Structure 1
Amino acid sequence: MSQFFKRFLPDPDRLANTWGLRWLGPALKHPRLWHFSRRGIAVGLGLGIFFGLLIPIAQIPFSAAFAVLLRANVPTAVASTLVTNPVTFGPIYYLAYQVGATLLGEDAAPPPLPGAAAGEEGADQESIWDKITGLGKPLLLGLGIFAALGGLGAYLLVSWIWRLKIWWAWRQRVRRRRMVQLP
């Protein structure tokens, strides 16, 4: 199965010689960054979901850099940042705001956007800034909670499923051996 995925991955030597990644050269050639192992996949997925939910920009460079530092699977870390994409971005951020506002004891309804009310043509800059910064604390708290729980949950889920798969394969082998040994 891992051979199927490996054919879609970029060559580590080619990446190490790419202009923007040349400074990471030797680090990108480490075999654990490209190997499909339980730990590498679990940590890579956890990192990707963590950074995908935590920060709205530069998710891929952050997850890739931390994957290199933690020797996790880089392709998994990069691909899992796509948990937030143009389709999921709105609902995730709205729910994160709702969770953050509830935990902070604030009104759960987000403030109206500047200029959204009828007859509000010239809102002053200070009130616009207040409305934008009013979203900040609840949204950051909600995103932090989602990122921490999502990353940890992904790591634990992958580890559990991987162990369950190994246990199941072992059980099947034992069952087959018993069937062969029966007279």
Structure 2
Amino acid sequence: MPKKIIKRMMPDHNKIKNHKHLSIFGELLHNPNLWHLNRRSVAKAFAVGLFFAFVPVPFQMILAAGIAIIVHANLPLSIALVWITNPLTMPAIFYFCYLVGTLILGVPEQEFAFEASWQWVLDSLSTIGPAFFLGCAVLSVLFSIIGYFGIQALWRHSVVKEWGKRKLRNINSVEK
């Protein structure tokens, strides 16, 4: 069942409540509904977390936490899913976003070499920026929708499967 798997992987809620960057949310973090695991809160968390995983801004966790609080999504899961884009995966994911953007805009891919400087970032905004940002926007919405409906379907499937097992156990126990 997805609930059992997700529960094992979730970070400790006290650690999140005491996180220095999330202190801006104050008492809002103490809402017990943000910590429950149910089909709706988990599906919303996947939507929020996957959306912000593809948004190329610093402090994605804070943005995801803010939206999770507003839409009553599971807060730890929303924050954890943002880490799909981490220092190891970010180059490949954001390059893929750029490729998707060039495909949508119908522009040729441009050769570029990343440099860790503000000047390179500012220069790139006019060259590769439009394709990159469009790709990020499209993929963030796409994966958010896929995550939401995928979890809804997976959760429903697992509940129906458990009902079937329970029904079979009840039939077998009556026959004995």
**TM-score, normalising length from structure 1?**
0.79
1:75-130: per-residue Cα shift (whole Å, max 9, x none)? 001100011011111111111111111111100x2233499xxxxxxxxx8xx965
Alpha-carbon offset, residue 25 of structure 1: 3.0
CA distance in 2, matches of 1:25, 1:131: 38
Aligned sequence identity (%)? 25
Give the Cα separation in 1 of the matches to 2:102 and 2:13.
41
1:145 equivalenced with 2:145 (yes/no): no
Give the aligned CA root-mean-square deviation in angstroms: 3.0
Residue matched to 1:8: 12
How much does 1:26 deviate? Answer: 3.0
Q: Which has the higher contact order (CA 8 A, sep 6+)?
A: 2
| Equivalent position of 1:167 in the other structure | 160
1:10-159 alignment, distance < 5 Å = 10=14, 15=18, 21=23, 24-107=25-108, 109-113=109-113, 131-159=124-152
Larger radius of gyration: 1
Which structure 2 residue ranges, 5 or more long, are not aligned?
none
**CA distance, structure 2, for counterparts of residue 51 and residue 112 of structure 1:** 25
Partners of 1:4 and 1:81 lie apart in 2 by: 18
Q: Which amino acid in the other structure matches residue 38 of structure 2?
A: S
Cα 1:167/1:129, change in 2 over 3 Å: closer
Residues of 1 paired with 2:124 and 2:37: CA distance?
Answer: 46
CA contact (8 A) 1:96 1:142 kept: yes
The Cα shift of 1:54 comes to 1.6
Report the residue type matching 2:12 in the other structure.
F
Any gaps of 5 or more consecutive residues in structure 1? 116-124
CA displacement, residues 46-98 of structure 1 (integer Å, 9 cap, x when unaligned):
10110111233110000000001111111001100011011111111111111
Using the size of structure 2 for normalisation, the TM-score is 0.82
Contact 2:34/2:69 (8 A) holds in 1: yes
- Conserved 8 A contact 1:113-1:131: no
* Structure-2 change in CA distance of 1:42 and 1:3 (3 Å): closer
